[in-house]
Amino acid sequence: MTTLGVIAANRGFFADSLVVEGRRKILDRLAEQGIKTIVLDEETTPLGAVTNWNDAQACGALFREHMEEIDGILVTLPNFGDEQSAADAIRQSRLNVPILVHAFPDSKDALKFANRRDAFCGKLSVTNNLYQYGIPFSLTQSHTLDPDSDEFTGEIDKFAAICRTVKGLTSARLGAIGARPGAFKTVRYSEKLFESVGMSVHTLDLSEVLGWARGMEDGDARVTAEIERIKRYAAYEQVPKESLLKIAKMAAAVRGWMADNGISATAFQCWDSLQRNYGINVCLLMSMMSDDLMPSACETDIAGTVSMYALTLASNKPSALVDWNNNYDDDPNKCIYFHCGNWAKSLVETITIETAEILGHNVGPEITWGATYGRTPAGPLTYARIDTDDRKGVIKAYYGEGKTTNDPMDTILGNSAVVEVPDLKGLMRYTCKNGFAHHCAMTDAYVAGILEEALDYYLGWETYYHR
């Protein structure tokens, strides 16, 4: 549940009834959307609004009391509002959370004292003060907006997603399981840059998790629970019993470590030590965790994990790590996404547990059981890549929207999608020139606008929105 601190900003010489009615309407609409609110009551300040410095202090103190709960702040203007006290209330709260500024609309046929709001103008004054204070904020698409409208509902949903994304990223505990594949310098990253914004990386040597898995009895309740979970998740009938048991033990060991350490998302050293030393692919476990909104990336690509987690937080849906893998013949705006088999079940039409075709050619297919096969059907697409740039000392990202298609292609064993992205050539040129990895993350929703607000406006990363 999202919790918002609500500031009903009031200019004292407008009709009190507008504040009373507007405040009540806002709180009712938020409650209907499942939003918990922290707001001044009518006993603490007149009308439960913020009108002056004393009210601002009271509001700031209230918000500080609930600092651990509040995910964002909604400033609503039922009339012109007192811009200085609204900004002061936020400053006094000492919160560093997203802020949405909303203004009630006037009616051209009701501009006498009893009904006139002037919030259209007041919004400019509030945002001017926030800008002067150096406080970042978000806006509704329409300058004024009726809380009873569907558009308002959409704006609150979007703002809740922005709050969720900012809070999730700045408190993430990420698990790096095993070293990166030696050949993959592309997935190197700076732990210190991620730590600087609150993301903590916790490492686990692959030998430790292999030891835990090998030490489990076949009849361990944790293992049998994982086997049942796997059977409910994907077509498993052709998987050798011994391989299925190994996958279940690995899953139980990893989930236990994650629970013990409060891990939000992971990245695995998925080849080829795991195959040679334990005899399975870990793709299925990664797929299952991603489907449970705990993203898991391949090749110990922690920056890829962050990319997936950002999309999962923004969309509240599973995400996947993909390769920008193949051109689609001569179509300049289409290409093929691929990975060996770790995409969430929710992102593909059907899912089966198989061996990893390409890796199996090198190490033997019998030790690669645990990959999954499935193609993503036509639908919406947001893609994103977050990286650390050590040469510049910054976290950087690109993101944009497109679509997945049902265009024909030869069978490709693993996870795949045909995607269409406007000006794909321009995007590829940008990623190459700016040193981004070959991986990106995807989800089947349109959330690039949420990433823009969260990553650029609030986190201050170096971003590129490809439109």
The answer to whether the CB of 227 falls within 8 A of the CB of 244 is: yes
Hey, how many other C-beta atoms are within 10 angstroms of the C-beta on 391? 7
**Beta bridge mates, 371:** 354
What residue spans of 205-301 are helical by DSSP H? 206-214, 221-233, 241-261, 273-278, 283-291
The reported pLDDT for the residue numbered 411 is 85
Give the pair of three-digit tokens for residue 152. Answer: 């308002």
- The SS3 call for residue 460 is coil
Dihedral class, residue 448 (left if φ above 0, else alpha if ψ from -120 to 50, else beta): alpha
Give the pair of three-digit tokens for residue 192. Answer: 């210190």
What structural domains and CATH numbers belong to the chain? 3-169 (3.40.50.10940), 173-466 (3.40.275.10)
Q: Nearest to residue 280, comparing CAs of 242, 253, 232?
A: 242
Per-residue pLDDT of the chain (467 residues; tens, 9 = 90+): 999 999 999 998 899 999 999 999 999 999 999 999 999 999 999 999 999 999 999 999 999 999 999 999 999 999 999 999 999 999 999 999 999 999 999 999 988 888 899 999 999 999 999 999 999 999 999 999 999 999 999 999 999 999 999 999 999 999 999 999 888 899 999 999 999 999 999 999 999 999 999 999 999 999 999 999 999 999 999 999 999 999 999 999 999 999 999 999 999 999 999 999 999 999 999 999 999 999 999 999 999 999 999 999 999 999 999 999 999 999 999 999 999 899 999 999 999 999 999 999 999 999 999 999 999 999 999 999 999 999 999 999 999 999 999 999 998 899 999 999 999 999 999 999 999 999 999 999 999 999 999 999 999 999 999 99
The answer to whether the CB of 297 falls within 8 A of the CB of 321 is: yes
Q: Nearest to residue 75, comparing CAs of 132, 1, 125?
A: 125
Measured distance CA(467)–CA(182) in Å, rounded: 35
The reported pLDDT for the residue numbered 122 is 97
Please provide residue 383's backbone torsions phi and psi, each rounded to the nearest 5 degrees. -115, 155
The reported pLDDT for the residue numbered 97 is 98
Residue in the block written with tokens 């990223």: 169
- The SS3 call for residue 327 is strand
**Beta bridge mates, 339:** 415
How far is C-alpha 110 from the geometric centre of its chain's CA atoms? Answer: 43
The amino acid at 322: V
The answer to whether the CB of 77 falls within 8 A of the CB of 121 is: no
Hey, how many other C-beta atoms are within 10 angstroms of the C-beta on 429? 11
Q: Nearest to residue 338, comparing CAs of 362, 372, 315, 361?
A: 372
The amino acid at 168: G
The answer to whether the CB of 357 falls within 8 A of the CB of 267 is: no
> Which residues does 120 contact at the CB level (< 8 Å), separation at least 6?
103, 105, 106, 143, 144
